Amino acid sequence: MLTRALLALALISVAAPALAEEAKVLALGLADHEVTEPELATGAAPPVPKFNTPAIAYVLAGDLKAGDVVEISLSNSEKPLLTNTETLVEDKATFLLQAGKRGVPAGGWPSEWTYFAKVTITRDGKTLVEQATDPIPFE
């Protein structure tokens, strides 16, 4: 019985640090401008894009390791429109990645679509995180 308890304790202590270091999404969304980490640290959501403003998808991720691949995309109800992917060369406690358009498409963003941000984080070929925002119209 004592052996089982010690084995369970050993497994928990080995697994706990691994779980604590899993990649996680700290912030994910759409903004009408390029965001900064200090801006996201306030906890206030940046203004969402309108039909006549820039549109930027952003992700602030945490506990990333060298070799992790982070991909963020600005998508509409049909497909990804703009994507940015980065493979990390070193461990990062936090990492901000953005994809979008600093300008406005001619005639504005089409109002018949809804838009969302989608992030995928992979490590050693395995998907750790796949998350998307709720779709929103650009009014």
Which percentage of the chain shows pLDDT scores above 70? Answer: 86
CB 123 within 8 A of CB 67: yes
**Higher-scoring residue by pLDDT: 135, 4:** 135
CB-based contacts of 38-41 (< 8 A; 24+ apart in sequence): 40/96
CB atoms within 10 A of CB 22: 14
Distance CA 92, CA 86 (A): 12
Which residue ranges make up each domain of the chain? 21-137
Q: Answer yes or no: is pLDDT of 8 > 60.
A: no
Phi, psi at residue 99, to the nearest 5°?
A: -145, 135
Mean pLDDT of the chain: 87
- Single pTM value for the model: 0.84
Q: What is the tens place of the pLDDT at every residue in 89-109? A: 999 999 999 999 989 989 999
Within 10 A of 99 (CB to CB), how many other CB atoms are there? 23
Domain boundaries 21-137, CATH class: mainly beta
Give 64's strand partners.
Answer: 92
